[in-house]
């Protein structure tokens, strides 16, 4: 289940990062970018690579939050410990 959820997060984020990369760099030349008034010391390909991973990371955070908000209260609050090892505040598996 965890690997399936990770793919729910990573794959759409990857696709969004691809689209963002194409849209941004269709309008912006990486050699014209400046950071704190200084030109960026990366090649065009380096800027494309760094930007892609930034876009992918931001999209993964967005997809992760969506996945978290889509979870039921039971999934969020369930106690992963066996019944005999649970502390007092840990609810039983069947309760919501």
Percent of the chain exceeding pLDDT 70 equals: 93
37: left (phi over 0), alpha (psi -120 to 50) or beta: left
DSSP string, 61-88: HHHHHHHHHHS-HHHHH---S-GGG--T
Q: Is residue 84 part of a domain?
A: no
| Span 23-51, pLDDT tens digits | 999 998 888 888 898 888 898 899 999 99
Q: Is residue 20 part of a domain?
A: yes
Q: Which residue segment(s) compose the domain that 62 sits in?
A: 2-73
Percent of the chain exceeding pLDDT 90 equals: 43
Long-range contacts of 82-85 (CB under 8 A, 24+ apart): none
Q: How many CB atoms lie within 10 A of CB 8?
A: 15
Q: How many domains does the chain have?
A: 1
Q: Is residue 28 part of a domain?
A: yes
Q: Is residue 21 part of a domain?
A: yes
Q: Is residue 12 part of a domain?
A: yes
**What pLDDT sits at residue 96?**
42
Q: Is residue 92 part of a domain?
A: no
């Amino acid at each position: 289940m965890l690997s399936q959820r990770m793919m729910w997060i990573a794959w759409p984020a990857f696709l969004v990062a691809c689209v963002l990369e194409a849209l941004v760099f269709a309008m912006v030349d990486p050699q014209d970018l400046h950071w704190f008034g200084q030109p960026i010391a990366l090649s065009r390909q380096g800027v494309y690579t760094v930007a892609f991973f930034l876009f992918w990371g931001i999209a993964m955070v967005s997809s992760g939050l969506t996945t978290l908000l889509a979870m039921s209260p039971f999934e969020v609050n369930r106690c992963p410990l066996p019944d005999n090892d649970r502390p007092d505040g840990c609810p039983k598996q069947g309760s919501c």
